[in-house]
Amino acid sequence: MTRSKFIAVALIVVSTAAGIGFALMTRQQEAPRAADEFEATVPNDASAPGPAPDGMAWIPGGEFSMGAADPLGKDANVVGMQATEDSRPIHRVSVDGFWMDKTEVTNRQFAEFVKATGYVTVAERTPTAEEFPGAPPENLVAGSVVFTPPDHAVPLDTHFRWWAYVQGANWQHPLGMESDLVGREDYPVLHVAYEDAQAFAQWAGKRLPTEAEWEFAARGGLSGTLYPWGDEFLVDENFMANTHQGHFPNEDTHADAHGGVAAVAQFAPNGYGLHDVAGNVWEWTSDWYRPDYYGELAAAGGVARNPRGPESSFDPSEPGVAKHVHRGGSFLCTEQYCSRYMVGTRGKGDSMTGTNHLGFRLVQDVP
């Protein structure tokens, strides 16, 4: 998702491909899950160094197998390869202990920050002709990228069919100028670009997690499971995360009881006390994105200690757009399109672009 593309090309994108049906590919491919590539998580034995800061949980750190393999019994064309291609090879990593927010940062918390600092987010700033040379002048309006589902099935060939750049959309107006935060104080803050999350972190005396810290924490002490809670998506027929059910993107049946984004902590926490590490909103990490980074670490051999990501970003699908890693998937993730609520899988996004399914949570080092 790249805000600049919307600004450069078209303000509002509306699908015109009515009537083009879309069929899920159903060829079943028994992709090996390669569970044996995962070795046991070995947490550090250091107990929490003191009382937890407000709203945070102690993550002991330790050594673990990082990455994702194709899930057994799933259609590799739909879910497996797409979701796990850049999250291989599975490689051994260790991270030191840290505190982590139990939930995604909320509107209530972000409002305190803005009140204290007067901070203006990227989405609230009017784009200039200098920043976007060649963009039609009428496109130079403040706004953000909003999920705008069509009312009919569409081909899943381009996300422009269900994302639109909406004038006036920002963290205070998540769906556009007419929307507000009344009753949404405990929902995750949305429409935050990377630098917005960084500014909040600096104010809060915290920092964004590295990708490795995020995955270690999200795994909750388990080793190599598909999800933060185990290997079955439903547990006793209960949903464990806010994801998307129904035909994507035009129908959300909210079988998990939440259509769209939900207030934080509506589902049980993982083994480390963290809520919504799968689903609800994607979360920024501090690592630049490169699809070959895991390969580099694996080739170096041994255990990667506190890896902080590659030196720079490169996404072959959008060269020239600097991206950071996103983790955890969102309320829009579905095995029909994006199954990245699987705990070892990766996402990525233009560092200057927030959307209404992207937020963040922070970590704090031991003093």
The CA dihedral of 213, 174, 187, 124, to the nearest 10 degrees, is 60
Examine residue 70 and tell whether it contacts Ca ion (CB under 5 A). Answer: no
Edge-to-edge strand ranges of the sheet holding 91-95? 42-43, 62-66, 91-95, 304-305
Least gap, CB of 233 to Ca ion (angstroms) = 13
DSSP state, 78?
A: I
Examine residue 328 and tell whether it contacts Ca ion (CB under 5 A). Answer: yes
By beta carbon distance, the residue nearest Ca ion is 328
Nearest residue (CB) to Ca ion, 78 versus 264:
264
Q: DSSP characters for 132-157?
A: STTS-GGG---EEEEE---SS---TT
Examine residue 280 and tell whether it contacts Ca ion (CB under 5 A). Answer: yes
Least gap, CB of 367 to Ca ion (angstroms) = 27
Q: Looking at 276, 287, 315, 350, which residue binds Ca ion (CB under 5 A)?
A: 276
The span from the CA of 327 to the CA of 283, in Å, is 5
Helix (H) or strand (E) holding 63: strand 62-66
Q: Looking at 86, 101, 124, 256, which residue binds Ca ion (CB under 5 A)?
A: 256
Nearest residue (CB) to Ca ion, 38 versus 284:
284
Nearest residue (CB) to Ca ion, 6 versus 163:
163
Binding segment for Ca ion (CB under 5 A), chosen from 72-80, 192-200, 268-276, 304-312, is 268-276
Where residue 251 falls (left for φ over 0; alpha for ψ -120 to 50; beta otherwise) is beta
Examine residue 285 and tell whether it contacts Ca ion (CB under 5 A). Answer: no
Is the distance from CB of 214 to CB of 99 less than 8 angstroms?
Answer: no
Instruction: List the interface residues with Ca ion, window 224-253 (CB under 5 A).
Output: 242
**Residues near Ca ion (CB under 5 A):** 242, 254, 256, 258, 276, 280, 328, 331
